[in-house]
Structure 1
Amino acid sequence: MTDARDFSRRSVLADLLRNRPTSRKAIAARTGLSAATVSRTVDALVVEGVIHEASEIVSENRGRRAVQLDVVAERSLVVGIDLGASNTRIVIGDFAAEPLQRAELPTPSSLNPARLGEWLADIVGAMVEDDPRDLGAVAIGLPGAVSEARTVSNAPNLVQVESAEFVEALERRLGLEVRLDNDANYALLGEQRMGAAAGTPAAAMVTIGAGLGAALAIDGRIIHGKHGLVGEFGQLPIGPFGARLEHMVTGPGIIRRAAESGVTIDAPEELFTDPSLFALRAQFDHALQIVLTAISVSSEPEVIVLGGGIAESLASDLQRYQSALEANLRIAPRLVPARLGEFSGAMGAVIDAVRTLYRELGVDEGDLDDLPVASPPADLPAIA
């Protein structure tokens, strides 16, 4: 009997989360459960404070009326964090993954691991301290490879996150365990659920800024390796004397290569506006084509989303890059800019945090791939 009730609970909750708002009758029709079973399960979830009966009454066949059901979005708060070497972006969301508040601030990269974790926890605490809702889950995207064992490697631009002291201090201050993943993985998750890759199960993400990140998704799921090295194409030794690919396309790499060529530039964006830097731009284009080709042949995505500070300078060149891919591979993915802009990673972290709450309620792992169902934020960077 317990197994049957658990199955009914999982089925009803997953269906409601996927089709909210909805009615008892509609849930029964989609799940195949009896009307009585659905009604009992819904009543139990209402008592738990997971779902509520909306006040709106809708008409059904022959004048029958039914109450709409929806999740209690105010049930708890979640926090999604994108911790970068230069900037940190934070989004506070609700139980339905709707963004409520955001913050963007410089990362104090000079702090030691423990102090960096405490600083981040204090920022989160200040953002939620006046909200009466419980903080249910926190997820953070990091600029490095995150293993199944929650260790971090390959984070040269913010090496503090490789120390266990960073996460320990963060969790101790917050009072709960945080979810960890690579920042590019979270950026792709955000773009797949709410952005430029929505409705595209086979997709990839490239983030280019202070570092180079890549993420791959097949059948709607982000690919994670045991050591978190999937998508670390920046480690490829393609440059002179084995220079890593990352050093050819990132902001610090562009400035360094310009200096090595006897040219001084104040910002990497000058590479895309100064015609005198043609030779350096050609090297950049070649390196980026290697990244895009490696992604295309490794996972065959339908679309590759480009995000990050450097990627913003490439919007007018995406068709040129795509044409070069098509000339080389014959069949190539579409190249599109990130829909969520600089907050792709933080929104992806919000989604993962919300999924943590759904798991705790008993939703099956297989039902999480297309959850949560939230409307794309039209102007996320403008949220106050």
Structure 2
Amino acid sequence: MGTPSLPRGFNRSAVLSALISARELDRPRLVSATGLSQATVFRVVEDLVDEGLVLEGDPRERSGPGRTATRLHLNARQAIVAGVDLGGTNCRIVLADALGGTLGRRHLMTPSELSGPELADWLAGHIFDLAVRHGGGVELGAVAVGLPGAVAGDKERVVGSVNLPQIIGTDFIDGLVEATGVPTSFDNDSNLALLGELQYGSGTLGETVALLVLGTGLSAAISIDGRVLSGRDGELGEFGRLPLPDSPHRVRDLVSGAGLVAYAREQGTPVSSAREIFADPRRHRATVDRVHATLQHLLSVVALAYEPQSILVTGGLSDSFDDTLLARLGAQVEASVGVRASVRRSSLDDSAGLLGAMSLALSSLYLELGVNRDDVTTITSDGDHILHVFETYAPARDTRLAAAG
């Protein structure tokens, strides 16, 4: 699957990326889409058909003079990919063909008692089992994993994880790379959630978009022109550490589930979950107002730092913020700091990270097939179709398989 030498590799890359984006093209339209000469396109297509990477369909009827044109499409069963959303409590896996069509999914409890290398072996076992069950004998081509922690800029080590500390360092990553034997990519789960939103959800690739994940903890991800940003040590977007003005508290103490529960108890209000606070806003008015003020402060910081067109919010705590409140906070941010951004809920919710992992795995596969990095970033997909198929494969939580693993 190695990349061909230049310049032939660039021609191959242009043809493949055009076919992947369009899903189906005849040769004349492929010439137009790539800007290459007819002779070059025909030669590249012949090579790809010989490899089995591109398939020819039935002739397409033409409305004008000339011969009918044969339809071409990428062989979606050339290879399959696996995307993984690994959390401290739950682990979800999706298996997809080379065009992003879901073949199977699995939802498991994460065996948090295992060491890093043991966890890598456990995860690889479930990936391959899913591939055997639903892959139809097709070779696994790439894997991508979203991790609950800070991932270094080189994506080769985890520098911090509260919920799954055994993945810190390189043992887990190295173990999974060795166990899969295929290109295996890693990133922070928030970064992949934003990638999922950009590819299949409410994000827009050409815009600057911020994603705030307001769950048990607080994390954020930022994309500019479709590229999700990464810091050197994985700390980019850790806005929860920001101290609040004239207060001993930090942002994460008011706009994360665990932090808010601790804050409420500190204020003399014993609650077992953040949901209790918002279920009775009159009783907890002071705390609710403080949460809203802190969220506005956080939105203002993000707005000034990146000038995003959109700020998406997701995570369990965000369920307490309706569309009207988010719109009002967005207007208050514009009035106070002069930056206009659409503040709204994400459309994919907790599926975003898994879909982002699938997207990253597909990108790795395309590189292996001969698409260069610049062309990979231009590939578009039929997000609505991919999302529809993905949702039809939604699994029940498989506790039996988790125990067996």
Q: Tell me the CA shift for residue 380 of structure 1.
A: 4.0
Corresponding position of 1:66: 69
| Aligned residue among 328, 341, 346 for 1:338 | 346
State how 1:1-384 maps to structure 2 within 5 Å: 3-55=6-58, 57-130=60-133, 131=135, 132-149=137-154, 150-238=156-244, 243-275=249-281, 276-316=283-323, 317-376=325-384, 377-378=387-388, 380-384=390-394
Q: Tell me the CA shift for residue 73 of structure 1.
A: 1.1
Q: Deviations over 1:327-355 (max 9, x none)?
A: 21233211222222211011011111100
Report the residue type matching 2:76 in the other structure: A
> Any idea what SS the aligned residue of 1:97 has?
coil
> Any idea what SS the aligned residue of 1:59 has?
coil
Residues in 2 aligned to 1:86 and 1:284: alpha-carbon distance in whole angstroms: 26
Report the residue type matching 1:81 in the other structure: V
Residues in 2 aligned to 1:106 and 1:241: alpha-carbon distance in whole angstroms: 38
Residues in 2 aligned to 1:155 and 1:338: alpha-carbon distance in whole angstroms: 24
Stretch moving more, 276-285 or 21-30: 276-285
Residues in 2 aligned to 1:246 and 1:157: alpha-carbon distance in whole angstroms: 16
Stretch moving more, 258-267 or 351-360: 258-267
Residues in 2 aligned to 1:230 and 1:238: alpha-carbon distance in whole angstroms: 19
Residues in 2 aligned to 1:78 and 1:239: alpha-carbon distance in whole angstroms: 47
Q: Tell me the CA shift for residue 69 of structure 1.
A: 1.1
The 1:84–1:321 alpha-carbon spacing in structure 2 relative to 1, beyond 3 Å, is farther
Residues in 2 aligned to 1:190 and 1:147: alpha-carbon distance in whole angstroms: 20
Q: Deviations over 1:261-305 (max 9, x none)?
A: 232323222222222122222232232223222221111111111
Contact conserved, 2:278 with 2:320, CA < 8 A, in 1? yes
The 1:381–1:29 alpha-carbon spacing in structure 2 relative to 1, beyond 3 Å, is closer
Report the residue type matching 2:153 in the other structure: E
Residues in 1 aligned to 2:322 and 2:52: alpha-carbon distance in whole angstroms: 45
> Any idea what SS the aligned residue of 1:378 has?
helix
Stretch moving more, 302-311 or 37-46: 302-311
Contact conserved, 2:144 with 2:184, CA < 8 A, in 1? yes
Report the residue type matching 1:163 in the other structure: G
Stretch moving more, 239-248 or 57-66: 239-248
The 1:114–1:32 alpha-carbon spacing in structure 2 relative to 1, beyond 3 Å, is closer
The 1:287–1:101 alpha-carbon spacing in structure 2 relative to 1, beyond 3 Å, is farther
Contact conserved, 1:143 with 1:183, CA < 8 A, in 2? yes
Residues in 2 aligned to 1:142 and 1:2: alpha-carbon distance in whole angstroms: 35
Query: TM-score, normalised on structure 1?
Result: 0.92
Q: Tell me the CA shift for residue 63 of structure 1.
A: 5.0
Residues in 1 aligned to 2:52 and 2:241: alpha-carbon distance in whole angstroms: 48
Residues in 2 aligned to 1:256 and 1:263: alpha-carbon distance in whole angstroms: 9
Contact conserved, 1:74 with 1:95, CA < 8 A, in 2? yes
Structure 1, unmatched stretches of 5+, are none
Report the residue type matching 1:46 in the other structure: V
Residues in 2 aligned to 1:298 and 1:79: alpha-carbon distance in whole angstroms: 34
Residues in 2 aligned to 1:301 and 1:177: alpha-carbon distance in whole angstroms: 32
Contact conserved, 1:79 with 1:92, CA < 8 A, in 2? yes
Residues in 1 aligned to 2:13 and 2:289: alpha-carbon distance in whole angstroms: 54
The 1:308–1:105 alpha-carbon spacing in structure 2 relative to 1, beyond 3 Å, is farther
Report the residue type matching 2:21 in the other structure: R
Q: Tell me the CA shift for residue 60 of structure 1.
A: 4.9
Q: Deviations over 1:149-199 (max 9, x none)?
A: 322123223222213222233333333342011111111111111100134
The 1:259–1:116 alpha-carbon spacing in structure 2 relative to 1, beyond 3 Å, is farther
Residues in 1 aligned to 2:177 and 2:249: alpha-carbon distance in whole angstroms: 37
Residues in 2 aligned to 1:382 and 1:3: alpha-carbon distance in whole angstroms: 42
Residues in 2 aligned to 1:239 and 1:127: alpha-carbon distance in whole angstroms: 50
Query: TM-score, normalised on structure 2?
Result: 0.88
Residues in 2 aligned to 1:339 and 1:237: alpha-carbon distance in whole angstroms: 30
Q: Deviations over 1:218-259 (max 9, x none)?
A: 112111222222212122233887544223222211222222
Residues in 2 aligned to 1:129 and 1:19: alpha-carbon distance in whole angstroms: 29
The 1:359–1:69 alpha-carbon spacing in structure 2 relative to 1, beyond 3 Å, is same
Question: Percent of pairs identical after alignment?
Answer: 34
The 1:134–1:2 alpha-carbon spacing in structure 2 relative to 1, beyond 3 Å, is closer
Report the residue type matching 1:104 in the other structure: H
What is the count of residue pairs matched by the alignment?
384
Residues in 2 aligned to 1:209 and 1:334: alpha-carbon distance in whole angstroms: 21
Contact conserved, 1:143 with 1:211, CA < 8 A, in 2? no
Structure 2, unmatched stretches of 5+, are 395-405
The 1:330–1:350 alpha-carbon spacing in structure 2 relative to 1, beyond 3 Å, is same
